Structure 1
């Protein structure tokens, strides 16, 4: 359990213990609806001010080696540099990889089994220590792939590296990765926050979250779990070595555990600049924005690469039966589920898991369960599936959701009503924010509590089909805690395809295989895709350099500043 630590209040003013913007910019006209998609709103080099953000929950961890939440990875770029990262330009170029700590993208051997990176010279941590290859090796080895004390995060390193000897540091500026088998997208892997350097002598293990050292433009000044995170400028950061980040604001403050509807109100009254989670405003907030031209001109509605879905357990009876899982898919009211996530403004009804933003997504018209042709559900086919599964009268199970997410709670209620039409009775279980790793992410908890269905969301670890699919549907990704394969899908054919796809050098051929994998997991009925998500994002009109980065799938926090 994390314990609170003190925070200096010298530089912040609070109302009801929330930091608020000193000069609200409420209802000022903005650059226009969707102006930050493919463009930069209010480009500026002005420095100064405090950027204020709200979060309806808390971080899973601010330790870069122990986090697996999309907004946490985006926000971590403010204080954690990695070997590679995503480009700063707006538009499609923002999805391109560029060197970060590394001087160039990786140099790969002819057999595809060795990747080598050289570091830029004179990079420093916030304490003045020169960043070395040893720090990066240590950072990866202490992460979720190897350390039981840091369980959160992806496990690709253990999957692909040869083992304890998989990372070599022949000199302080060179890091060499040795792979079990070729991994065509390895440059994406080293963009993860797990490659942010950690000096071994400063590593306090599971307590490192209290004060992780910065390699980026900001350092962590103070963190009170559940209340506030405060960042200030890092004087040791060298802007000349960093092509993607700015250091415009003097400080960044994030209020934690703020009610989601209250965040929307604070956005619209100008008390806060942004909502850090990047999932968009709630239903009431949508209406308040879209019905007023001035507010609408400060909003963006990008297709963000996420899918909201229900993970259906393949291990909890009777959903361990394929026919019972298919009954859930047929019985679902997809219009009601879409409405829970904000209607069309919140995303299009999703017939499959892989979003259209990811190469390899099935083409338009692919609709094997009739989600688009019969959006209210197909109760006849649901009843037939229950009959085939040996439960003609239905069955009972539990639906879970994060209780700080009104959209997820509304989706759980809508699904409960849908399933009751064919005799599937469900209990609803809301769990605390930041605890997805403890509840649906712990198979033992799932099995003991017969948690058959979990409402959640997913986006790519990096912008490819493999980066989207591996962690949620490969059997080898199932973990006893912090498990992202919540469905516990362990299909030999799916596993084999995912194992083979990284051997293919051609991106087009990989995309074709990702489509085949998507079709196979669709047939397995381990996922109920709800919507391919759009987020109605609201940006304060006083912000500068605001753009939606297509790889990060939300506003690029490393660019943003404030007007003079």
Structure 2
């Protein structure tokens, strides 16, 4: 069978959620800047379209990345941004609206060719691909990149491990830093320099989506230095690093050995791209308003303090209220008491006033109250509410019944985490604290930096257990916009890792694990889509995840930003491959 590039279900949902937006202004030579468009124009069109080359695109971010190494990252904004210097086998098309969800060939000549049972996938690389130093890019470099990113947790722990989980022999392979054999993992074959073949344990219908991950961006083995590779990344895209300062920022300039003939999807208009980290998030907003920068690299929208200013007056026309394809939720760690008891988990489900939490985060511009883990824009979403309460304000009586059932009739003490550089998440945590105090659950809030949240704290089970972190703030968007692309890395037991984990509940339910495995191996599109909603219900019955908000991003375009459009493939942020500047 041949997987479809984007399902009709995804397209129809997004057509409804994005709505009709007018095309942005601006002429082909730079126009009047990003502010010349209308409100929400970038949801379905390119605002301030321009073909003008040159200039510098400047970004700021409130924290640091988990890593800019394409093989050691899991943040959506890095996956989006890294396409400027790291080309994957496939990618999402840089385009406006629904077209931006289309998977297209990148390093590969075409989408993958599957066997009849979807257990073997073959890709052919384009001819003439080169690194920044002029050396050829080969299929062996792609294989090596996948091996280092999936099989070397001692050095690279931040990214997902889909390849390890689904390749034949992946559970036994020790990784390229320990295995010095010439062949490496034999279930990835490279019969020639332009061909790569993946042999899987079971059918995997979404493999073209998996190939969009930056983990398939080539890495020359001779240049790899493990965790230190981030300091000297070898570019396969139109830009290369001129400088990189850990925790401070980076500057990218043109890669002279990038050949646009081998890359039909990137226009590479700016001459330079500058990134600055650790900028106060409100300062980032103000710099956008004053047009000091081109964009906010985090891509999560303006802060609650800035919201009133941009929703009225002249700035309103520069905003895009984008569905992020993400759910803000609280993970209840099933290995931290008292959440090892399902009734204590259900007490939180019934007791939480979700409307008050949304209000604290900034109200409707920040999203809608969530009742499921899957957000509405993901294929497989099914509308249900296992813990339905009037106005989403909680049910104290039912919460106290569950507290009694779990042996804590008077409530209990626990800890809730939040990311310190995300004011909306801290506000969410404070509202949760106030809401649950009404039923006797006393919460201490502990804050951590987002750049190390998964690698050092919330994603490290030993740390979580030692410090009794029972409730963990989490926001998750689909790795790709299907139910599997959303659910697998947050509810599958195979996603629990010593560090860098994203299954913060540490949910390892055999029935849920099996349901995920069976569904992704099913080549019947309709049956596979139905399965994702069924699995979502199983997770809510387990009560280890408390959905809070289907997230929106109130994005702000700067006046000088050109070629601005929202990409739903990357959590509803702007597409950084397209963006340029009139400055």
Residue among 209, 230, 239 paired with 1:218: 239
Q: Which residue of 1 aligns with 2:515?
A: 497
Provide closer, same or farther for how the CA distance between residues 27 and 191 of structure 1 changes in structure 2, counting only shifts above 3 A: closer
Distance in 2, Cα, partners of 1:151 & 1:183: 23
Q: Could you report, residue by residue, the CA deviation over 1:46-91 in whole angstroms, capped at 9, with x for unpaired residues?
A: 0111111110000111110000101011000111000000112211
Correspondent of 2:421 among 369, 385, 404: 404
Q: Is the 8 A contact 1:114 1:176 kept in 2?
A: yes
Counterpart position of 1:43: 49
Q: Deviations over 1:485-507 (max 9, x none)?
A: 00001111111100101111122
Q: Is 1:93 matched with 2:112? A: no
1:322 counterpart = 2:342: yes
Contact 2:132 2:255 in 1 (8 A): yes
Contact persistence 1:26–1:268 (CA under 8 A):
no
SS at match of 1:472: helix
TM-score of the pair, normalised by structure 1:
0.93
Provide the C-alpha distance between the structure 2 equivalents of 1:287 and 1:30, rounded to a whole number of angstroms. 20
Indicate the residue corresponding to 1:264 in structure 2: 285
Task: Report matched runs for 1:266-305 at 5 Å.
Answer: 266-292=287-313, 294-305=314-325
**2:9 alignment partner in structure 1:** none
Pairwise CA RMSD = 1.4
Which residue of structure 2 lines up, in the alignment, with residue 360 of structure 1? 380
Q: Deviations over 1:209-257 (max 9, x none)?
A: 1011111111111111221111111111122222322211111111100
CA apart distance, 1:340: 2.8
Match of 1:333 in 2: 353
Structure 2 residue 429 is the aligned partner of structure 1 residue 429:
no
Query: What residue is the counterpart of 1:479 in the other structure?
Result: 497
Paired residues of 2:114 and 2:120 also in contact (CA < 8 A): yes
Deviation at 1:27, TM superposition (A): 10
Report the secondary structure of 2:59's partner residue: strand
Shift of residue 147, structure 1, vs aligned partner: 4.3
User: What's the counterpart of residue 392 of structure 2?
Assistant: 375
- Are the structure 2 counterparts of residues 74 and 27 from structure 1 closer, same or farther at C-alpha, using a change threshold of 3 Å? closer
Q: State which of 181, 190, 194 in structure 1 corresponds to 2:215.
A: 194
Where does residue 7 of structure 2 map in the other structure?
Answer: none
1:254 to 253, 257, 275: 275
CA contact (8 A) 1:47 1:562 kept: no
3-state SS of paired residue (1:301): strand
Match of 2:365 among 336, 345, 351: 345
1:17 matched to which residue of 2?
none
Q: Are 1:83 and 2:74 matched, yes or no?
A: no
Deviates more, 1:157-166 or 1:390-399: 157-166
- Between the aligned partners of 2:299 and 2:151, the Cα distance in structure 1 is 27
User: Deviation at 1:190?
Assistant: 1.0
Match among 109, 134, 137 for residue 131 of structure 1: 137
Structure with the higher fraction of residues in helix conformation: 2
Q: Distance in 1 between matches of 2:34 and 2:134?
A: 42
- Pairs aligned (count): 536
Residues 167-246 of structure 1: pairs in structure 2 closer than 5 A: 167-246=188-267
Q: CA deviation at 1:206?
A: 1.7
3-state SS in 1 of match to 2:98: helix
| Cα shift at 1:550 | 1.6
Matched, 1:506 2:524: yes
Q: Distance in 2 between matches of 1:526 and 1:369?
A: 13
Q: Provide the C-alpha distance between the structure 2 equivalents of 1:555 and 1:141, rounded to a whole number of angstroms.
A: 30
Gaps of 5+ in 2: 1-30, 170-184
Equivalent in the alignment of 1:556:
575
Structure 1 CA distance, aligned partners of 2:577 and 2:94? 9
Name the CA distance, whole Å, in 2 between partners of 1:233 and 1:394: 59
Give 1:193 deviation, angstroms: 0.4
Identify which range, 312-321 or 108-117, moves more after superposition. Answer: 108-117
Residue 412 of structure 2: aligned partner: 395
Quote the residue 2:430 is aligned against.
413
Contact conserved, 2:34 with 2:47, CA < 8 A, in 1?
Answer: no
Q: How far has the Cα of 1:432 moved from its partner? A: 2.0
Contact 2:328 2:549 (8 Å CA) reproduced: yes
Structure 1 unmatched runs, 5+? 1-24
Contact kept, 8 Å, 1:261 with 1:282, in 2: the verdict is yes
- 1:364-404 CA distances to partner (integer Å, 9 max, x unpaired)? xx222115x34221111110110111100001110001101
Alpha-carbon separation, structure 2, partners of 1:342 and 1:170: 54
Q: Is the 8 A contact 1:264 1:281 kept in 2?
A: yes
Q: Quick one: distance in 2 between partners of 1:507 and 1:233?
A: 42
> Equivalent residue for 1:11?
none
Match of 2:538 in 1: 520
Is 1:28–1:295's contact at 8 Å kept on the other side of the alignment?
no
| In structure 2, C-alpha distance between the alignment counterparts of 1:118 and 1:560, rounded to whole Å | 29
Contact persistence 2:418–2:473 (CA under 8 A): yes
* Inter-CA distance 26–43: structure 2 relative to 1 (3 Å threshold): closer
Structure 1 distance, partners of 2:48, 2:478, is 29
Q: 1:310-361 deviations in whole A, cap 9, x for unaligned? A: 1111110011111101111111111121123221010000011100000111
Q: Secondary structure of the residue that 2:451 maps to in structure 1? A: coil
